């Protein structure tokens, strides 16, 4: 793994004095006990390549600006996180060892909820839980499109191109209007917010001139301190639906049917097509099914599929809308999937008020009610603290592409002694993310190493077939971005040009998604990324 230069002890010490003067000693953490919770929870415990040297916790915009100015003055790299729940992709850990983490967990105010135009404005520390609770407490008849696990930050998830599931999750469409602290400590508002007192900052996605919001996603060009989030008015009916097929070879038919139903707007949200082990790992532990070390054989997967009644592939999805429209669409969906032999399609209609009391966590998540229930899957190998790596290439939403990816990944992962655990997430009607959960026991160093090695190999092998990740794990960021080499790395050069112009001292999250400031772009980094 590539390691960039760490800050000198001298500059770090000087910066810590200034951080303490600005924030107070209780908001500058340096004790090993405090730093532990900012490590990647899914690595082997003795690994420390991504250890931070300190954590600072500003509580308002002015303090974030001051932190940035101090970092500039001392040339200390800072790594910003909202909640830092980037699990499976490196968690809160910084790319550069010794970086100072800027945790925005305490900037957690819901600044506004506008019922008329159906949006909220939040700070970075606001979690799915928090925004959901604020909406509920205000008795707003509005729903929030959320991620699977409720502890994540709304802004943090958005800035990682994270996926949510309701209609505004399609193409990650829910973000509108930002306030950003730039590398020089100045403050910018994007879109219509660039005009003082403009009424459309959080209702129109562009401004006059180029739209720069997406520049701050998966990058290190600024620190987002405020963001607009679109909400959906309560529909008349919410209907979670399930489609189950019994043969592995039914996968392409499921995907092709889904594409047609999404292209014609029958399904407009982000479904998940899960394999047996993925859903099974949320419901049970591995030892119930298979006691050997090697990967679970097909016969056992078939047994899981039958006993848990989850099939070889199972799709969760949902309809939202007027009851007449939902009824028509469900009937159409049922007809379409039931052309696949043995397929089952079912669903139940609910009023939006009933969603919090639904039993299945997936049915609550698709209805915008957050929990931690789906996190259970990481304990697949036993214990409380399993880990996973997310490997998530994007592909066209066709049965052919789904089969190519499955047939690439399953053998590689199984050769590494692990199970192929997959969910296909169509983020729009034309493409899907193949979320591969490489799950392992964090106490078993050999297994952890295998998991990281096969994940790294997958990055390269998928790229050879024309599939790139939508989001890269901290340990493979350079490798993953290195695959995007068209035009002799024209896109990376473009990003580096922006980086050097916007952050000349290279202090903001160096290395995030492969973007390095000039001072750290040595040939060693590149060669290592290519060769490792």
Residues of span 72-91 touching its own copies by CB under 8 A: none
Contact call for residues 147 and 164 (beta carbons, < 8 A) = yes
Of the listed pieces 319-327, 361-369, 372-380, 381-389, which binds its own copies according to CB under 8 A? 319-327
| CA distances (Å), origin 80, targets 105, 124, 221, 298 | 10, 10, 11, 43
Q: Which of 136, 407, 487, 527 binds its own copies (CB under 8 A)?
A: 487
**Residue 484 touches its own copies, criterion: CB under 8 A:** yes
| CA distances (Å), origin 482, targets 83, 159, 237, 348, 468 | 28, 21, 46, 46, 10
Query: Is 430 in the active site?
Result: no
**Residue 95 touches its own copies, criterion: CB under 8 A:** no
CB of 259 to its own copies, least distance (A): 8
Quickly tell me which residue has 């958005």 as its tokens.
Answer: 158
Detail the DSSP E strand segments found in 363-427.
387-391, 394-396, 422-426
Residue 143 in 3-state DSSP? strand
**Residue 254 touches its own copies, criterion: CB under 8 A:** no
Q: How many residues interact with its own copies (rule CB under 8 A)? A: 100
Of the listed pieces 128-136, 289-297, 352-360, 476-484, which binds its own copies according to CB under 8 A? 476-484
Site for its own copies in 387-446 (CB under 8 A): 394-398, 401, 427-431
Dist. CA 249–CA 264, nearest whole Å? 25
List the structure tokens of 33.
């006990």
CB of 127 to its own copies, least distance (A): 23
Contact call for residues 131 and 218 (beta carbons, < 8 A) = no
Terminal CA-CA length for the chain:
7
Catalytic residue among 69, 89, 381, 467: 89
**Residue 314 touches its own copies, criterion: CB under 8 A:** no
Q: Which of 1, 14, 61, 203 binds its own copies (CB under 8 A)?
A: 203
Query: What values do phi and psi take at 444, rounded to 5?
Result: -110, 95
Of the listed pieces 37-45, 62-70, 146-154, 466-474, which binds its own copies according to CB under 8 A? 466-474
Contact call for residues 75 and 507 (beta carbons, < 8 A) = yes
Dist. CA 18–CA 13, nearest whole Å? 9
Of the listed pieces 127-135, 350-358, 360-368, 507-515, which binds its own copies according to CB under 8 A? 507-515
Query: Is 132 in the active site?
Result: no
**Residue 252 touches its own copies, criterion: CB under 8 A:** no
Q: Which of 1, 35, 188, 308 binds its own copies (CB under 8 A)?
A: 188
Query: Is 89 in the active site?
Result: yes
Annotated catalytic residues are: 89, 470-471
């Amino acid at each position: 793994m590539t390691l960039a230069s760490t800050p000198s002890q001298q500059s770090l010490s000087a910066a810590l004095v200034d951080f303490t003067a600005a924030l107070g000693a209780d908001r500058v953490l340096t004790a090993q006990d405090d730093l532990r919770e900012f490590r990647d929870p899914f690595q082997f415990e003795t690994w420390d390549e991504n250890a931070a040297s300190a954590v600072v916790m500003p509580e308002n915009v002015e303090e974030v600006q001051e932190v940035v100015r101090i970092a500039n003055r001392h040339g200390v790299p800072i790594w910003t996180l909202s909640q830092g729940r980037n699990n499976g992709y490196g968690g809160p850990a910084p790319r550069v060892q010794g970086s100072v983490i800027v945790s925005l967990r305490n900037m957690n105010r819901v600044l506004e909820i506008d019922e008329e135009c159906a949006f909220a404005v939040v700070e970075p520390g606001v979690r799915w839980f928090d925004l959901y609770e604020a909406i509920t407490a205000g008795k707003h008849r509005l729903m929030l499109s959320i991620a699977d696990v409720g502890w994540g930050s709304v802004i943090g998830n958005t800035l990682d191109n994270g996926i949510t599931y309701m209609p505004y999750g399609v193409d990650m469409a829910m973000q509108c209007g930002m306030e950003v602290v730039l590398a020089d400590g100045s403050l910018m508002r994007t879109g219509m917010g660039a005009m003082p007192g403009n009424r459309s900052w959080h209702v129109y996605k562009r401004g006059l001139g180029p739209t720069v919001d997406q520049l701050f996603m998966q990058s290190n060009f600024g620190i987002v301190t405020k963001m607009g989030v679109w909400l959906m008015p309560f529909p008349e009916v919410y209907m979670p639906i399930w489609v189950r097929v019994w043969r592995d070879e039914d996968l392409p038919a499921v995907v092709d049917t889904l594409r047609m139903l999404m292209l014609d707007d029958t399904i407009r949200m982000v479904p998940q097509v899960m394999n047996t082990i993925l859903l099974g790992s949320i419901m049970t532990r591995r030892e119930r099914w298979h006691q050997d070390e090697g990967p679970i054989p097909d016969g056992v997967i078939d047994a899981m599929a039958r006993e848990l009644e989850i099939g070889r592939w199972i799709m969760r999805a949902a309809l939202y809308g007027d009851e007449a429209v939902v009824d028509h669409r469900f009937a159409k969906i049922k007809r379409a999937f039931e052309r696949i032999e043995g397929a089952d399609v079912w669903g139940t209609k609910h009023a939006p008020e009933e969603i919090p009391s639904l039993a299945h966590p997936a049915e609550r998540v698709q209805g915008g009610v957050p929990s931690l229930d789906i996190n259970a899957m990481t304990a697949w190998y036993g214990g409380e603290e399993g880990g996973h790596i997310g490997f998530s290439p994007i592909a066209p939403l066709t049965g052919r592409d789904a089969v190519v990816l499955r047939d690439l990944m399953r053998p590689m992962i199984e050769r590494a002694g692990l199970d192929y655990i997959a969910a296909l997430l169509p983020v729009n009607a034309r493409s899907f993310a193949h979320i591969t959960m490489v799950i392992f026991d964090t106490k078993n160093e050999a297994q952890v190493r295998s998991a990281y090695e096969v994940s790294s190999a997958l990055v390269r092998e998928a790229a050879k077939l024309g599939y790139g990740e939508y989001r890269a794990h901290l340990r493979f960021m350079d490798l993953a971005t290195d695959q995007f080499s068209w035009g002799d790395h024209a896109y990376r050069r473009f990003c580096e040009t922006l980086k050097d112009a916007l952050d000349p001292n290279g202090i903001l999250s160096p290395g995030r998604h492969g973007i390095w400031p000039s001072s750290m772009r040595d040939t060693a980094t590149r060669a290592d990324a290519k060769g490792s």
